[in-house]
Amino acid sequence: MPAPPAANAMLRAEMTTTPPESTAPATPYEWVGGEHAVRALVDRFYDLMDLEPGFHDLRRLHPSTLDGSRDKLFWFLCGWLGGPDLYVERFGHPRLRARHLPYSIGVRERDQWMACMEQAMHECELDPLLVSRLKLRSPTRPTG
């Protein structure tokens, strides 16, 4: 289930004070590097899903072509990170849980999603401090 707007606001407020530089980005979206960097992250995420056998269970949940999935995750992450709400503009509230109900997503698929995203963030050279903060706030993070 996506975080409520208040939680997203808290995430954005917390993340803006994290970088030690005096020119700290205003949002995690800016900290990542903006639109181009978010697109590169999403593309690497889906490339890894196709390339790495360890992500097979996750990959089989997706259509044969990943173009639509790439766009939707890019649009979602832009807004989730504090950038433009591209997903909301197109589809309304994400309702992540409801949108994923038709799929058989268990612990294995969740863990593969997280591992794939962590590898993509590492390969895209995101700031390790930002990565650790994002992992704590991930929409796929276990709640137990």
Yes or no: say if 44 and 117 are a contact pair by the CB < 8 Å rule. no
Q: What is the mean pLDDT of residues 116-126?
A: 97
What's the pLDDT at 144? 44
Q: What is the mean pLDDT of residues 1-14?
A: 51
* Residue type present at position 47: D
Classify residue 97: in a domain, yes or no: yes
Distance of CA 144 to the CA centre of its chain: 20
Report the CATH number that the domain containing residue 106 is assigned in CATH. Answer: 1.10.490.10
Classify residue 122: in a domain, yes or no: yes
> What range does the domain containing 53 cover?
5-12+34-137
Asked whether residue 124 carries a pLDDT value surpassing 80, the answer given is yes
Classify residue 73: in a domain, yes or no: yes
pTM of the model: 0.78
Separation in Å, CA 71 to CA 25, 29, 67, 95, 129? 24, 16, 6, 17, 26
Classify residue 53: in a domain, yes or no: yes
Classify residue 118: in a domain, yes or no: yes
Classify residue 109: in a domain, yes or no: yes
Classify residue 25: in a domain, yes or no: no
Asked whether residue 1 carries a pLDDT value surpassing 50, the answer given is no
Asked whether residue 86 carries a pLDDT value surpassing 50, the answer given is yes
Kindly report the average pLDDT of the chain as a whole number: 85
Classify residue 17: in a domain, yes or no: no
What's the pLDDT at 137? 63
Question: What is the total count of domains within the chain?
Answer: 1
* pLDDT, tens only, 21-46: 557 788 999 999 999 999 999 999 99
